[in-house]
């Protein structure tokens, strides 16, 4: 469940394009709770969204790019601690 607030654009796009999540309005605790409760009560929807998310990731996200980004972040943290 993602909220439509600045900084979550990627989550929103993935949730909508891959049909692997719900997007709720910002600053709306009731909508967020409803989305969570909806998914808690619907194991078939969770399984369907999980399968869609995995298929999207396998199709759209290159492992080498993710690993390179992770390595850059990790090395940045190492440099900060020195």
SS3 23: strand
Sign for the pseudo-dihedral over CA of 70, 50, 3, 23: positive
- Mind listing the pLDDT tens digit for each residue in 11-67? 777 777 778 888 898 899 999 999 999 999 999 999 999 999 898 888 878 888 778
**pLDDT the model gives residue 51:** 94
């Amino acid at each position: 469940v993602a909220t439509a607030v600045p900084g979550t654009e990627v989550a929103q796009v993935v949730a909508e394009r891959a049909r692997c999540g719900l997007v709720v309005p910002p600053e709306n605790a009731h909508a967020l709770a409803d989305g969570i409760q909806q998914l808690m009560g619907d194991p078939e929807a969770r399984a369907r969204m999980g399968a869609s998310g995995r298929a999207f990731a396998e199709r759209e996200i290159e492992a080498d790019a993710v690993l390179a980004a992770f390595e850059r972040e990790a090395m940045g943290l190492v440099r900060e601690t020195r």
